[in-house]
Amino acid sequence: MKLFKQLLAMATIAFATAAQAAAPATEAPDVLVKRISQDVIETAKTDKAIQAGDIKRVTALVEEKILPYVDFQRMTALAAGRHWRTATPDQQKRLSDEFRTLLIYTYSGALSQIKNETVEFKPLRADPSDTEVEVRSQVNMTRGEPVPLNYRVAKTPNGWKIYDINVLGAWLVETYKSSFNSEISKGGIDGLIKTLADKNKTLASRPLAKAK
């Protein structure tokens, strides 16, 4: 689980520096992800605040740099499944906000664990006209075998956005889907929102390095 969180953190944070320089309009999704990933891994390795587990530093980075490039609403809708369609707009917004916060707290703690890992990208298997693609890569660990790390990316009016991540064969959305369904079956959408909110309060009260 620690490795899973670490790699998801690397994947999520891969969009952190995208706002530092506007991507060319014709830049392919794999080229975009590769360029940003390399920049951010270096940042995570050298930023003393991130290495120290400074939650304010990480949260500010996420809010400013990552959110414009990750479709959290689509992530949440996929995780909630059919229940998303019956939720009110207010419930959808609150659920998406809490899920986003949970991902930030859960995986930000792993950033300080990034040391000497490198990412190798595979050739993109897609047609130029495709609006949804899978960007495949592997994380080369200092010890052990390379770990597959893939992204599902969709082209939107605002550019390419990530909406799912696969680590070790497990998609992030599917990982949360069963627990979402379980909570909804017990307390409805509001029950799930409350569960996530309570979890976020607990994580917020802990040192970042201890978030689980």
Is pLDDT above 60 for 146?
yes
Position 141 confidence tier, pLDDT thresholds 50, 70, 90: confident
Q: At what angle do helices 89-108 and 2-13 cross, to 10 degrees?
A: 110
* Amino acid 75: pLDDT: 93
In the block, which residue shows the tokens 């809490």?
98
Considering only CA atoms, which of 3, 212, 1, 4 is closest in space to residue 109? Answer: 212
Mean pLDDT is lowest, of 99-103, 141-145, 161-165, for 141-145
Considering only CA atoms, which of 185, 208, 25, 199 is closest in space to residue 110? Answer: 208
Is pLDDT above 50 for 49?
yes
Three-point CA angle 198, 108, 184, nearest 5°: 35
Is pLDDT above 80 for 8?
no
Is pLDDT above 80 for 20?
no
Q: Which residue has the higher pLDDT, 62 or 1?
A: 62
Mean pLDDT is lowest, of 71-85, 162-176, 187-201, for 162-176
Which of 4-8, 24-28, 201-205 shows the highest mean pLDDT? 201-205
Three-state helix/strand/coil letters over 96-164: HHHHHHHHHHHHHHHHHHCCCCEEEECCCCCCCCCCEEEEEEEEECCCCCCEEEEEEEEEECCEEEEEE
* Amino acid 22: pLDDT: 43
**In the Cβ-directed half-sphere of 165, how many Cα atoms lie within 13 Å?**
26
Which of 27-36, 91-100, 144-153, 199-208 shows the highest mean pLDDT? 91-100
Answer yes or no: are the C-beta atoms of 51 and 112 closer than 8 Å. Answer: yes
Alpha carbon distance 175, 87 (integer Å): 21
Kind plus residue range of the DSSP H or E element containing 166: strand 159-167
| pTM, rounded to two decimals | 0.78
Is pLDDT above 70 for 150?
yes
